[in-house]
Structure 1
Amino acid sequence: MAYANDINSAAPASSASFGGVFKSLAERFARYRVYRETLLELSVLDDRDLADLGMSRASIRAVAYEAAYGN
């Protein structure tokens, strides 16, 4: 009977860790989506519009990454 109690007590802990994994994956996906949307929106601008924003075409990826991940 003690063995069954150990299994039952371990089950909620493992299901709680799965919840953390899904939350982490959802956060990572949301950040990636922000990155892709920013990248696509800046990519459609012409060079003159980018210059008005103080950016060059070469810095689009860095700006999108900073927008999504804050680094």
Structure 2
Amino acid sequence: MAYANATQTAEFGFTARFTAFKNSVAQRMARYRVYRETLVELESLTDRDLNDLGLSRAGIKAVALEAAYGN
């Protein structure tokens, strides 16, 4: 009986998975950093400055989330 067997080396598979994991974590950290920086900057503004931008204190978190993660 003949059959085909496909194998991958464990090192290549692990390396590819580890690289993908590392890139995923780096991307999540970068997005979170944008979120935190936006949040801190907007929270440091006065109510008058926020009003000039058309924002209220209640909307700061939503704006930071949109800036970092999109819709």
Question: 1:12: Cα distance to partner?
Answer: 0.6
Give the equivalent residue in structure 2 for 1:28: 28
Q: Which structure dedicates a bigger proportion of its chain to helix?
A: 1
In structure 1, the residue corresponding to 2:9 is in which secondary structure?
Answer: helix
Which 5+ residue runs of structure 2 have no aligned equivalent? 1-6
Report the alpha carbon displacement of residue 60 of structure 1 after superposing the two structures with TM.
0.2
Whole-Å Cα distance in 2 between the matches of residues 33 and 21 of structure 1?
18
Structure 1: where are the runs of 5+ without partners?
1-5
- Partner residue in 2 for 1:16: 16
Aligned length: 65
In the superposition, the TM-score normalised over structure 1's length comes to: 0.86
In 2, the alpha carbon distance for the partners of 1:64 and 1:31 equals 10
Residue 10 (structure 1) shift: 2.2
Computed over aligned residues only, the root mean square deviation of the Cα atoms, in angstroms, reads 1.2
Normalised to the residue count of structure 2, the TM-score between the two structures is 0.86
Percent identity, please.
Answer: 60
